[in-house]
Amino acid sequence: MKNYLVTGGAGFIGTNFIRHALAIRSDWYIVNLDALTYAGNPANLENLESGIAERYRFIRGDIRDASLLDSLFLEYNFDGVIHFAAESHVDRSIHGPEDFVETNVIGTFRLLEACRKLQQDKKMPDGFRFLHISTDEVYGSLGPEGYFTEQTPYDPSSPYSASKSSADHFVKAYFRTYGLPTLVTNCSNNYGPYQFPEKLIPLIILNIVEEKPLPIYGDGKNIRDWLYVIDHCDALITILEKGVPGETYNIGGGAERENIEIVHLLCDLVDDRLGHSDRESSRRLIKFVTDRPGHDRRYAIDATKIQTELNWIPGYSFEEALESTVDWFLNNMKWIDSVRSGNYRKWIEQNYQHR
Ligand code: NAD
Ligand code: DAU
């Protein structure tokens, strides 16, 4: 068996990763360490099938808690850390940046320190890997041409991307200085089941269902490069197993779309599911609102390195995976109600009241 520590596994990508990894790797045991902030929901992983559930354990705790980390490393003798835990929402980082420094920078530093201690005490298993999941936002904004490569200089625009950039630098420094076997991934925008409804795709789906305005920042022509979450998880397993320590890998979907195109597509898909006529098209709900400060114009990944060196390409087409995401949300309204707490409603009011 291989034992892995997954941090932030009760969030969107972590949940999908744990489900996917336990299903396709029958020799993995996963400990999920998650503080359960507003974005974490342990119920996401409560109904695991038998044969899988036995290889999973949830621990509520904070990645900044050094003594908890030491005791977990001692107890489980992990073969690696797969580090998702973060504050992940750009708009929240604009309203309150401190939590981003605390979790994304200090939290990552504490995890690295726990690993360094293992190494110093000669308790690190052979083949150990520290897989740090980061974002393409560290590279800043692109104009209409060009792509982010692993050599693109960091140029973060938001407190979120600044905190992720800082964390990436620490991870890379621990490889260079201490020889810690680290891997860094910088991925584009994910979508799929279990995404918290503060992010564009689930927010728009739910607002369509509830006939609320569909807020589009600025002129709606900002571009994101969309990747289905299961493809991201699959790429992470490939990198964990085949990646070269000290290296960075960009992960992208090759599906660049303007925000307005995404919103149009979602209106049409949901209208189709709900049997709306052309006259009732949800496109009428679109509302252009004040832009996000520091809003990056375009992200686009050059994924040549992961394709050529690790032989990985995405398996899902954007159109099909977006349809199945819409269906997942429409069929899981109970899950949505459970994550939309009072805290969520307060956030929506705060973010959108002046736009
Ligand atoms: P998310 O916000 O849905 O989940 C984050 C999880 O981390 C939550 O379960 C939360 O409870 C947990 N967490 C937060 N602070 C913690 C702490 N101090 N200690 C322990 N747990 C804590 O985020 P996500 O969208 O699943 O993103 C996961 C990772 O992937 C992040 O590092 C993010 O930067 C990166 N990423 C996300 C995307 C995307 O499109 N969502 C794209 C590229 C990279
Ligand atoms: O690129 C990877 C990043 O993708 C991850 O690192 C982040 O964790 C993740 O949140 C995501 O960041 P974005 O800011 O790109 O995602 P978000 O869903 O918040 O917004 C997507 C685009 O839609 C962006 O251009 C802003 C716009 N938007 C968003 C919201 C919430 C709107 O126009 N209206 C909205 O209400």
Convert the pLDDT of each residue in 184-193 to its tens digit.
999 999 999 9
Ligand nearest to the CA of 100: 1
Predicted confidence (pLDDT) at residue 21 exceeds the cutoff of 90: yes
Q: What pLDDT, on the 0 to 100 scale, is given for residue 354?
A: 79
Banded model confidence at residue 342, pLDDT cuts 50, 70, 90: confident
Q: Is the CB of 189 under 6 A from ligand 1?
A: yes
Q: Quote the longest CA-to-CA distance of the chain.
A: 69
Rounded average pLDDT over 104-108: 99
Q: What is the dihedral of CA 186, 139, 100, 178, to 10 degrees?
A: 60
Rounded average pLDDT over 208-218: 97
Q: How far does residue 93's CA lie from ligand 2's centre (Å)?
A: 12
Catalytic residue among 62, 79, 87, 136: 136
Q: How far does residue 36's CA lie from ligand 1's centre (Å)?
A: 11
CA angle 213, 214, 215 (to 5 degrees): 105
Banded model confidence at residue 160, pLDDT cuts 50, 70, 90: very high
b/e map 38-69, b = 16+ CB within 10 Å: bbbbeebbeebeeebeebbebeebbbbbeebb
Predicted confidence (pLDDT) at residue 355 exceeds the cutoff of 90: no
Contact 220, 169 (CB under 8 A): no
Mean pLDDT of all residues in the chain? 96
The percent of residues in the chain predicted with pLDDT above 70, rounded, is 100
Predicted confidence (pLDDT) at residue 341 exceeds the cutoff of 90: no
Q: Is 160 a catalytic residue?
A: yes
Q: What pLDDT, on the 0 to 100 scale, is given for residue 353?
A: 84
Catalytic residue among 34, 79, 87, 137: 137
Q: What is the CATH number of the domain that holds 120?
A: 3.40.50.720
Q: What pLDDT, on the 0 to 100 scale, is given for residue 137?
A: 98
Give the pTM: 0.98
Predicted confidence (pLDDT) at residue 253 exceeds the cutoff of 90: no
Element (H, E) at 175: helix 159-178
Element (H, E) at 209: helix 200-209
Residue ranges making up the domain that contains 104: 2-262+267-351
Rounded average pLDDT over 61-90: 98
Q: Is 136 a catalytic residue?
A: yes
Look at the chain and report how many structural domains it folds into: 1
Q: Is the CB of 190 under 6 A from ligand 1?
A: yes
Lowest mean pLDDT among 12-21, 44-53, 80-89: 44-53
